[in-house]
Amino acid sequence: MVCSVFISHATKDVPLVQAVVDLIEDGLGVPEGEIFCSSLKGHGIPVGQNFVEYMRKEIAAPEVVVLLLTENYFNSNFCLSELGAAWVKGHKIFPIVVPPLNFTAIKDVLLGVQAIGLEDDISYNQLRETLNDLKLVTKSVTKWDVKRRYFFQSLPGILEKLPKLETVDPAEYANVKQNLEEAKSELLSYEDEIAQLKKRIGALEKLKDTKEVQAVRREFSGSDYVAQFDTAVKAIISLRSKIGGPEVLKFMLADYYGASYGMDVRNYPEQFEEASLVKVVRLQDRSVQWGATRAQEVRQRLAEIDRLMDEQDSYDEIAGHYADRDIPFETDNLEFWESFYGV
């Protein structure tokens, strides 16, 4: 069922919208089911309904459209769509201009349309007459006068609650726009220059010694990827003696990276016995105890190295720096372990 009274409003103006709907419903006795107002419970869109489709249905044929024309209203594309629909369909409209707007806001499709000011007490009687002609008024004139008086007494507080539209000084806007255009132009020139520099660097990398090129890249990029890598590697090397020895570390590396490598207790009994004492391994089931303090330290350092290897920039820099080692630069590779961790 399409409602008789459609309240076209901005959602930001709900305090005012509620007051106007109360005035129509309680002051005039217009039945709740005859008033459509999308922002208010009981007057809005039922649960499960599509918002846009329901709004389109309601704006199709109401008897009268009450327009609450605020700054927020004219700044809402949805409100302007409702206004356009009401104009196209030729609905009877009742525009109410809300301060700080004045009647100069009535333009475009509303040009020449008679409107009332929000605080124009007497003019609200025209709304009563309109709804009375539609046989929607069920309350006495006395009830209307009492409710209308209360409405106007409440208006100052209601208007205070309305969010103010944020505006920008036109001169300031023009200045910012000009600066933005200049910045865009300058950025484009920088991008062209950067593209040329990248081509030059690429050509130099093919001609120059790799380690020298990497050193220059580090100098100008300000990165310390190699230093971070070296620090983590040195920390792992220093942990070898604390966890039992290099063979224990190799066993832990294999376990960490999911490689198949058995615990060689027969050839390295002392290393694994010591590892067992510091809780790094368990001899009974030949497993790594990653919850142990030393094991956690090893895992933390390995995670740092993996993170550096996962990032393309850091990987390129570190791999280039150690290119002379002639090994697969893969953290889960035995040659990598032997070269960097001494296992």
Query: Residue 333 has what pLDDT?
Result: 93
Which of the pair, 202 or 57, is modelled with greater confidence?
A: 57
Task: Please report which confidence band the pLDDT of residue 291 belongs to, taking 50, 70 and 90 as the band edges.
Answer: very high
Cα 336 → chain centroid: 42
Q: Are 283 and 265 in contact (CB under 8 A)?
A: yes
Task: Please report which confidence band the pLDDT of residue 76 belongs to, taking 50, 70 and 90 as the band edges.
Answer: confident
- 3-state secondary structure (DSSP) of residue 35: strand
Q: Are 17 and 39 in contact (CB under 8 A)?
A: yes
What CA–CA distance (Å, rounded) separates 161 from 301?
A: 57
Task: Please report which confidence band the pLDDT of residue 115 belongs to, taking 50, 70 and 90 as the band edges.
Answer: confident
Q: For 26, how many CA atoms within 13 A lie in the half-sphere containing its CB?
A: 12
What CA–CA distance (Å, rounded) separates 262 from 287?
A: 9
Mean per-residue pLDDT for 278-307?
A: 93
Query: Residue 250 has what pLDDT?
Result: 95
Threshold 0.95, pTM exceeds? no
In the block, tokens 């550096």 appear at: 308
What CA–CA distance (Å, rounded) separates 71 from 99?
A: 8
Which tokens go with 66? Answer: 């009450």
pLDDT at 171 over 60: yes
Which tokens go with 182? Answer: 């200049």
Query: Residue 20 has what pLDDT?
Result: 94
Query: Residue 216 has what pLDDT?
Result: 58
* Closest C-alpha to 21, from 44, 2, 47: 44
pLDDT at 305 over 80: yes
Q: Are 321 and 214 in contact (CB under 8 A)?
A: yes
pLDDT at 190 over 90: no
Query: Residue 168 has what pLDDT?
Result: 60
Which tokens go with 168? Answer: 């920008």
What CA–CA distance (Å, rounded) separates 307 from 275?
A: 27
Which of the pair, 175 or 98, is modelled with greater confidence?
A: 98
E strand segments, 51-114: 64-69, 92-97
Neighbours of 234 (CB within 10 A): 12
Mean per-residue pLDDT for 126-142?
A: 92
Mean per-residue pLDDT for 21-30?
A: 94
Mean per-residue pLDDT for 187-198?
A: 70
pLDDT at 271 over 70: yes
What CA–CA distance (Å, rounded) separates 117 from 123?
A: 8
Q: Are 87 and 27 in contact (CB under 8 A)?
A: no
* Closest C-alpha to 33, from 60, 62, 11: 62
Query: Residue 166 has what pLDDT?
Result: 64
Q: Which amino acid is at 132?
A: N
Beta partners for 8? 67
pLDDT at 246 over 60: yes
Mean per-residue pLDDT for 147-153?
A: 93
Task: Please report which confidence band the pLDDT of residue 38 belongs to, taking 50, 70 and 90 as the band edges.
Answer: confident
What CA–CA distance (Å, rounded) separates 309 from 237?
A: 18
Mean per-residue pLDDT for 233-247?
A: 94
Query: Residue 220 has what pLDDT?
Result: 53
Mean per-residue pLDDT for 39-49?
A: 79
* Backbone dihedral region for residue 286 (phi beyond 0: left; psi -120 to 50: alpha; all else: beta): left
Task: Please report which confidence band the pLDDT of residue 109 belongs to, taking 50, 70 and 90 as the band edges.
Answer: low
Mean per-residue pLDDT for 291-301?
A: 94
Which tokens go with 38? Answer: 């999308």
Q: Are 32 and 3 in contact (CB under 8 A)?
A: no
What CA–CA distance (Å, rounded) separates 98 from 91?
A: 21
